[in-house]
Amino acid sequence: MTYFWLKAGHIIFVIFWMAGLFMLPRLFVYHQEAPEGSEEAARYVERERRLLKIILLPSIIVVWVLGLMLAMTTGAFSQGWFHAKLLFVIVLSGYHGWLSAYAKKLARGERSMDGKTLRLLNEVPGLAAVVIVILVVIKPF
Ligand code: HEM
């Protein structure tokens, strides 16, 4: 029973986390289309800050805590698929950290990436999710 509740909570917060990871680079693209120093740009700074603080940060914490509790419940630490999953989840967490740093740069008025690169980077969470879900459901090794 504990296992199913942990898993339900894990999946719910994975959805919140992924939604935030998909949304933030989109906001960056629109933000960078607004003139620097404009009121519109300032509104994007606030939207990005709130998305990071209210959705992304709590979600990544809950996903990690429930995921590690699930691993302890099922003994996944000794299984190959779990090691591979951890690798991709660490990549995804690093991507989250990078987004957070880029939001701070944008807030300071630094725009080091163009919209095309940001749109390309937006594929990272989608690809990682495909691999992670296959690993966790099929458990190929
Ligand atoms: C952040 C670190 C994470 C850890 C430590 C973790 C760990 C786990 C563990 C141990 C399970 C139970 C597997 C089983 O029932 O045998 C699980 C289930 C699951 N995880 Fe994660 N997970 C993490 C992040 C993610 C992410 C980012 C995604 C999706 C993008 C994800 C998607 C899922 C899904 C869909 C299940 C249910 C699989 C099933 O019941 O067949 N997890 N996770």
96 is in an annotated binding site: no
Is 130:136 a contact under the CB 8 Å cutoff? Answer: no
pLDDT tens per residue, range 65-103? 999 999 999 999 999 999 999 999 999 999 999 999 999
Q: What is the mean pLDDT of the chain?
A: 97
* Ligand 1 shell residues, CB under 6 Å: 7, 10-11, 14, 18, 63-64, 67-68, 70-71, 74, 76, 89, 92, 129, 132-133, 136-137
Identify the residue whose tokens are 């906001």.
27
Long-range contacts of 18-24 (CB under 8 A, 24+ apart): 18/125, 18/129, 19/55, 20/51, 20/52, 20/55, 20/56, 20/59, 21/56, 21/92, 21/95, 21/96, 21/99, 21/125, 22/122, 22/125, 22/126, 23/51, 24/48, 24/51, 24/52, 24/56, 24/99, 24/103
Query: Residue 140 gets which letter from DSSP?
Result: -
- At 42, list the tokens: 């300032």
Average confidence (pLDDT) over 92-115:
97
Flag whether pLDDT at 17 surpasses 90: yes
Which of 3, 7, 10, 74 has most ligand 1 atoms within 8 Å of CB, for mutation? 10
Q: How many A from CA of 136 to the centre of ligand 1?
A: 6
Q: How many A from CA of 122 to the centre of ligand 1?
A: 21
pLDDT value of residue 1 = 85
**Alpha helices by DSSP H, the chain:** 2-33, 39-50, 57-74, 80-107, 115-121, 123-138
Cα–Cα dist 65/8, whole Å: 13
Average confidence (pLDDT) over 98-118:
96
Where exactly are the structural domains of the chain? 2-138
Q: How many A from CA of 39 to the centre of ligand 1?
A: 41
Nearest to 34 by CA among 47, 20, 21, 19: 47
